[in-house]
Amino acid sequence: MSQHVSCNDCSLSPVCLPLAVAPAQMDQLDNIIRRGRPLKRGEHLYRASDNFESVFAVRSGAIKTYVVSPDGEEQVTGFYMPGEVLGMDGISTAHHVSNAKALETATVCEIPFSQLENLSQQIPTLQHHFFSLMSDEIRADRELHMLLSKKSADDRVASLLLSMSARHQRRGLSSHSFRLPMSRYDIANYLGLAVETVSRIFTRFQQKGWLEVSGRDIEILDRASLCGNAPDTGTVEIQL
């Protein structure tokens, strides 16, 4: 079993880290990356208070991140799909500040951060790409800020669906038909809504003929109407 797939052979390389590295230097990046065993659904990739040592790129499956407040309530802070990088919020604290849990069977590439920093000293484009990745995350959070503070429940759900659609498309998959990796509970929690509200909105969107919903399987029938709900035109890029 070739758990050691090189970045060169990985179908995600155009949307993942390697896009910042010239072929000649690919081996250097490849050498510091660790490919671990697959995570089973529900397994943790890391937990808050674990030492921060690495960031992770999702290879397959899906991961959710969440924080738990002192009074024990959970806040889902993001969903990470193949080609996306997570764990960057722990850099400044030496320990992770959130938890990361597999939503379904998932494989990840582990990138030891101190080695990545070293490599970034040698490969300026890699340094720049990492700054960009973090910048993207900040920008996505700004979008989310507006979504949570100004938009209706309908807008929030529409926006999430369009985001998932865009991220599928980025990987070369269908943008109109896909399966959500997360539960209604996670969606609601992430968007600051009650589960019941999310469920009702799904049925309403379906009644309006905008979606075909069957459990977690989604088919987008009328993207324009969904966009009308979501603030962002066309290229919704909420990276969450």
The residues of the shown chain that bind DNA, judged by CB under 7 A, are 41, 152-154, 183-185, 192-200, 202-203, 213, 215-216
- Enter the tokens of residue 235: 């290229």
Between CA 31 and CA 40 the distance in angstroms is 25
CB nearer a second copy, residue 61 or residue 90: 90
Between CA 175 and CA 169 the distance in angstroms is 5
**Four-point Cα dihedral 208, 183, 139, 170, nearest 10:** -80
- Enter the tokens of residue 110: 């582990």
Provide, rounded to whole angstroms, the least separation between the CB of residue 221 and DNA: 16
Site string for a second copy, 80-99 (x = CB under 8 A): --------xxxxxx---xx-
Provide, rounded to whole angstroms, the least separation between the CB of residue 203 and DNA: 3
- Enter the tokens of residue 80: 């990470």
Look at residue 13 and give the partner it binds from a second copy, DNA, none, a contact being a CB closer than 5 to 8 Å depending on partner kind: none
Q: Tell me if 117 contacts a second copy by CB under 8 A.
A: yes
Residue for token digits 């397994």?
43
Site string for a second copy, 2-41 (x = CB under 8 A): ----------------------------------------
Instruction: Write the single-letter amino acid at 47.
Output: R
Comparing CA positions, the residue from 91, 92, 109, 100 lying closest to residue 48 is 100
CB nearer a second copy, residue 138 or residue 173: 138
Which segment (22-30, 136-144, 178-186, 217-225) binds a second copy by CB under 8 A? 136-144
Between CA 42 and CA 36 the distance in angstroms is 16
Q: Tell me if 185 contacts a second copy by CB under 8 A.
A: no
Among 47, 142, 179, 204, binds a second copy (CB under 8 A): 142
Q: Tell me if 69 contacts a second copy by CB under 8 A.
A: yes
- Enter the tokens of residue 1: 């079993």
Among 130, 178, 205, 210, binds a second copy (CB under 8 A): 130
CB nearer DNA, residue 38 or residue 112: 38
Task: Tell me how crowded residue 158 is: count the other CB atoms within 10 A of its CB.
Answer: 26
Q: Determine which helix (DSSP H) or strand (DSSP E) holds 138, and give its type and residue range.
A: helix 124-150
Q: Give counts: helices (H), strands (E), the chain.
A: 7, 11
Q: Tell me if 112 contacts a second copy by CB under 8 A.
A: no
Which segment (24-32, 140-148, 179-187, 203-211) binds a second copy by CB under 8 A? 140-148
Contacts of 17 (CB under 8 A, 6+ apart): 7, 29, 57, 85, 111, 126, 129
Q: Which residues bind a second copy (CB under 8 A)?
A: 67, 69-71, 73, 75, 77, 88-93, 97-98, 117, 120-121, 124, 127-128, 130-139, 141-146, 148-150, 189-192, 231-233
